[in-house]
Amino acid sequence: MMRLPHFRFHAPRELREAAELLAGAAPGEAMLVAGGTDLLPNMKRRQQVPKALVSLRRIAELRSISNGDGYALGAGVTLSEIVRHPQLRAACTGLWQAAAQVATPHLRNMGTLGGNLCLDTRCNYYDQNYEWRKAIDFCMKKDGKTCWVATSSPTCLAVSSTDTAPALIALGATATLVSAGGSRRIPVGELYRNDGIQYLTRMPHEILAAVHLPRLDGWRSTYWKLRRRGSFDFPVLSVAAAATFTADGAVEAARIVLGAVSSRPIVAVAAADAVIGQRLTDDVIARAADAAAKPAKPMDNTDFDLTWRKRIMKDIVACALRELRGDDVREMRRTLSKMSL
Ligand SMILES: Cc1cc2nc3c(=O)[nH]c(=O)nc-3n(C[C@H](O)[C@H](O)[C@H](O)COP(=O)(O)OP(=O)(O)OC[C@H]3O[C@@H](n4cnc5c(N)ncnc54)[C@H](O)[C@@H]3O)c2cc1C
Ligand code: SF4
């Protein structure tokens, strides 16, 4: 049985207190824990070994969902709370679909939106127990020097595997980060950098406090995910898309975001440009799907055959756009989950 290492545990009730605890800790000494569904297994595998944990679970202000000029979701809102929210489902369907496909109901009951956005990057050579990793002399992401995926790579290529980030980026969401020194608000897309080790732009002493969605009147959105087991699994490819339409059915504005193909979610700008001003005919969708597949450079460090994953990317983008067009996609979703068995 894998055991947790020893650590000090703090359970503040105020966000300010949590920020002060982080600010007072030596670099690398303290980590935040929300639901613990990502961090605690990582600690058992000694991938992350903080000396202290600052729990966010008792901080009431992180648990609120409010709707003023768009929704504001506290970082401590659980994924189940999002899934159980009918108005969120209607207003931000893509986010709802992403949250509903994270892990299992038990994990969604514990797992939070903030934890999902700050989820560690994943790789076949890293998501292993300590003995396994020791047997290959570890790797650059933790305790080693070499990247076993690309031995000449100066950076780690571990994969961004958060389901909700692509959906939130497609919906134009922003995030508030709070520290003892103040707060700042950034687009969710700017929370990430393309480095499997330093994958967040969040400073170590900052807490992701809330996510803000703009008013989404007229926006349609969707989220598609490829994974091995339809019942639960991390994404190995995902597509979030959102668009508004003119009265005559042309696309007015669009965002298409790819997940699990890089160390950060990738905004497929050329794919969105290919649909803006156009009706979503099969030809337009095919052109956008081609354009979306270009910036995606998945590596051979997650599940499934790499060439197959690259090939199927276009099909998944096309499925997402067909759903935005208003097609009945239930059969396509069933086919995708069979393909991933
Ligand atoms: C079997 C299994 C299957 C899973 N499947 C999926 C899946 O399909 N899709 C998916 O996306 N995830 C999956 N997960 C990962 C995880 O369950 C979810 O991502 C969950 O939402 C993480 O939230 P949490 O609150 O438990 O995060 P935690 O484990 O508490 O934290 C995760 C990371 O975020 C940091 N953090 C947490 N909250 C904050 C905050 N407010 N501000 C700054 N940093 C913060 C922590 O320090 C830590 O580094 C799976 C996990 C398991 C064990
Ligand atoms: S991509 Fe390379 S450095 Fe990063 S976790 Fe995988 S093997 Fe390690």
pLDDT tens digits for range 35-59 = 999 999 999 999 999 999 999 999 9
Integer Cα distance of 145 and 194 in angstroms: 19
Residue 249 scores a pLDDT above 90? yes
Structure tokens, 330: 């239930």
Integer Cα distance of 71 and 130 in angstroms: 41
Calculate the average pLDDT of the chain: 95
Q: Are 279 and 201 in contact (CB under 8 A)?
A: no
Integer Cα distance of 160 and 306 in angstroms: 16
Structure tokens, 237: 């490819």
List CB contacts of 78: < 8 A, sequence separation 6 or more: 35, 108, 109, 110, 111, 112, 113
Q: Which residue from 221, 270, 271 is spatially nearest to 241, judged by alpha carbons?
A: 221
Structure tokens, 165: 């980030």
How many angstroms is it from 113 CA to the middle of ligand 1?
8
Atom 2 in ligand 1: residue holding the nearest Cα: 103
Banded pLDDT at 222 (limits 50, 70, 90): very high
Determine if ligand 1 sits within 6 Å of the CB of residue 179. no
- Bridge partners (DSSP) listed for residue 163: none
* Least distant ligand from the CA of 137: 2
- What confidence score (pLDDT) does residue 43 get? 98
Average pLDDT value for residue range 62-70: 96
CA diameter of the chain: 62
List CB contacts of 88: < 8 A, sequence separation 6 or more: 65, 71, 82, 95, 96
Q: Which residue from 150, 102, 98 is spatially nearest to 123, judged by alpha carbons?
A: 150
**β-pairing, 70-74 with 65-68?**
antiparallel
- What confidence score (pLDDT) does residue 294 get? 86
Question: 125-151 pLDDT, tens per residue?
Answer: 999 999 999 999 999 999 999 999 999
- CB half-sphere exposure, 178, CA atoms < 13 A: 19
Determine if ligand 1 sits within 6 Å of the CB of residue 111. yes
How many angstroms is it from 55 CA to the middle of ligand 2?
28
**β-pairing, 30-33 with 52-55?**
parallel
Q: Are 156 and 193 in contact (CB under 8 A)?
A: no
Determine if ligand 1 sits within 6 Å of the CB of residue 59. no
Nearest atom in ligand 2 to the alpha carbon of residue 157 is 1
- CB half-sphere exposure, 323, CA atoms < 13 A: 23
Integer Cα distance of 65 and 74 in angstroms: 6
- Bridge partners (DSSP) listed for residue 74: 210
Atom 50 in ligand 1: residue holding the nearest Cα: 103
- Ligand 2 environment, Cβ below 6 A: 123, 125-126, 139-141, 147-149, 156-158, 196, 301
> What backbone phi and psi angles, to 5 degrees, belong to 112?
-110, 165
Determine if ligand 1 sits within 6 Å of the CB of residue 233. yes
- What confidence score (pLDDT) does residue 335 get? 82
| Three-state DSSP class for residue 200 | strand
How many angstroms is it from 210 CA to the middle of ligand 1?
15
Q: What sign does the dihedral 98-53-203-261 (CA atoms) show?
A: negative
Integer Cα distance of 14 and 58 in angstroms: 8
